[in-house]
Amino acid sequence: MLNSKDVEKMVRGGLKGMKAYTPVDPVDVLTGRAEVPEGDTAKLDGNENPYGCSPRVQKALAGFQDYNRYPDPDQRDVRRALAVYTGVKADSIVAGAGSDDLIDIILRLFIEPGDRVINCPPTFGMYPFCTVIAGGEVIKVPRRPDFSLDLPAIKKVIDAGTKLIFIASPNNPSGNMAGVAEIKELLSRDLILVVDEAYVEFSGNSLTPLVKQYANLIVLRTFSKWAGIAGLRAGYGICPANIVPYMMKIKQPYNINMAAYVAILESLADLDYLQNTVNAMVKERDVLFKGLQQFKWLKPYPSRANFILCAVLYRSAKDIYLGLQKKGIFIRYFETPELKDYIRISVGRPEDTLRVIAALRDM
């Protein structure tokens, strides 16, 4: 009979030493580390929508009667509604449990053990995480000091074994966009380019129209940020139409759950409301940026998303993170080879900005 050690030995070799993904903790756990009463907190660590979801989503989910039924595996209504929202045909769209799900589906579809995937850190951690799980090899091409892509270095590493490259635009955590010329240059190479537009509603510039022109471009989007339903997990990919049937075939059949399904449709039926919250966040991004610029020991980077990255000068980013945490303000800090002593603050409501600036002033 196998003992527990034997079973552990069966874990795939490539996954044993793999670094875990660093997720954000839920607010009750974070509040436990703060010195403030419950509810008296500002959660600015997950790039979420502080205004919540559309009231139409709340109402529809409360009254929904069919939770006992499986959702449509072909995602018909959702893909039709997304086609109207994005201006591409429904047969170019695949929906998933967050864009994370799409990242996973794409890698499972294209990557065989040993295939190479280019990642340009600092960027979203899910790309190398899912690449390793799919058995691919991550080829790291760090961004330049201003967080722009190092195109000559990217071109240099592309070889016959390179299948795919991920580019987030706006990039998380730096907030800057990739240039259209850079994207077109990469599209001219023999590899699949996945452009992650998780924050596109805050930037206003999408590369979606290019999907019709290029056979090797996939654009990812999400409802987590602008639509305020991160907890329901809803995202989608805009993909070359000939690749969609493969993605639909290998995805988990019921990957978007019934609540997310309803929430997507209701969000898309309440665009004016959601656009107002997006506008409020874009306006608040400027207020936060100006507020952060007052501090000589912080260097905020201009952002086209709903967060601002700051280099912390003469101090430790972790100390700032811990100091704010004590006061019930939750942000992210980074101590990686590409980002040493940086913090990232999500854009919140005006009262959150006032609170974070006042707390930083006390430090």
Ligand X SMILES: Cc1ncc(COP(=O)(O)O)c(C=O)c1O
Residues near ligand X (CB under 6 A): 47, 98-100, 124, 168, 172, 196, 198, 222, 224, 230, 235
Q: What is the DSSP letter of 240?
A: -
CB of 9 to ligand X, least distance (A): 33
247 in Cβ contact with 94 (< 8 Å):
yes
Q: Which is nearer to ligand X, 308 or 360 (CB)?
A: 308
Quote the DSSP letter at residue 346: E
Q: Shortest approach of ligand X to residue 230 CB, angstroms?
A: 5
CB of 197 to ligand X, least distance (A): 8
CB of 99 to ligand X, least distance (A): 4
Rank residues 220 and 360 by Cβ distance to ligand X and give the closer one: 220
Q: Which is nearer to ligand X, 100 or 341 (CB)?
A: 100
In the complex with ligand X, which residue's Cβ is closer, 222 or 277?
222
- The CB-of-7 to ligand X minimum distance in angstroms stands at 31
Nearest to 45 by CA among 355, 343, 332: 332
Smaller CB separation from ligand X, 98 or 291: 98
Quote the least distance from Cβ 245 to ligand X, whole Å. 23
Query: How distant, in Å, are the alpha carbons of 121, 291, 322, 335, 350 from that of 316?
Result: 21, 20, 10, 9, 26
- Name the residue whose CB lies closest to ligand X: 98
Cite the DSSP H helix spans in the chain: 4-9, 13-16, 27-32, 55-63, 76-86, 98-110, 126-134, 151-157, 180-187, 200-203, 244-250, 258-268, 271-293, 317-326, 350-361
Between 331 and 360, CB nearer to ligand X: 331
Distance CA 1, CA 23 (A): 37
Query: Minimum distance from CB of 71 to ligand X (Å)?
Result: 17
Using the 8-state DSSP alphabet, how is residue 87 labeled? S
> Does 145 sit behind a cis peptide bond, omega within 30 degrees of 0 on the bond before it?
no
Quote the CA–CA distance of 141 and 152 in Å, as a whole number: 10
Comparison of 71 and 327: residue with beta carbon closer to ligand X: 71
